[in-house]
Amino acid sequence: MIRGVRGAITVEANEAEQIVSATERLISEMVTKNEVQPDHVASIFISATNDLNASFPAKALRKLKGWTYVPVTCMQEMAVPGSIEKCIRVMMHIETDRAQQDIEHIYLEKAKTLRPDLIDKKVNLD
């Protein structure tokens, strides 16, 4: 079964190192929490808000061992008035036996405000 794993993180400044480092942190946590292997990834979409253009966030993926052939693309997030700033979002499509409700979506830094219902879903389900 192909499932989507969502994640988001914010950075403090439009600096290449922050963008790549934050994206690497986010993807690493998504991978760890969902026990993802590179061979089980169909594709990854990464978006960034229009105030982030110092680097492609996808560069972070190339720092991870074994991820050379994973298809990844970057795009610009919609510029909705009042939306969160300096935010990187990831949608990872993975092959997994996990049920939809068992996927762990990761929201870090100020991006926690995007989906508070998914931050600690085990508590919210009880």
**Positions marked active-site:** 6, 62, 74, 77, 89, 107, 115
DSSP character at residue 35: T
Give the separation between CA 44 and CA 81, rounded to whole angstroms.
26
Tell me the β-bridge partners of 8. Answer: 89, 107
Give the separation between CA 48 and CA 59, rounded to whole angstroms.
13
3-state secondary structure 102-116: HCCCEECHHHHHCCH
Which strands sit side by side in the sheet containing 87-95, from one edge to the other? 72-76, 41-48, 87-95, 2-10, 106-107
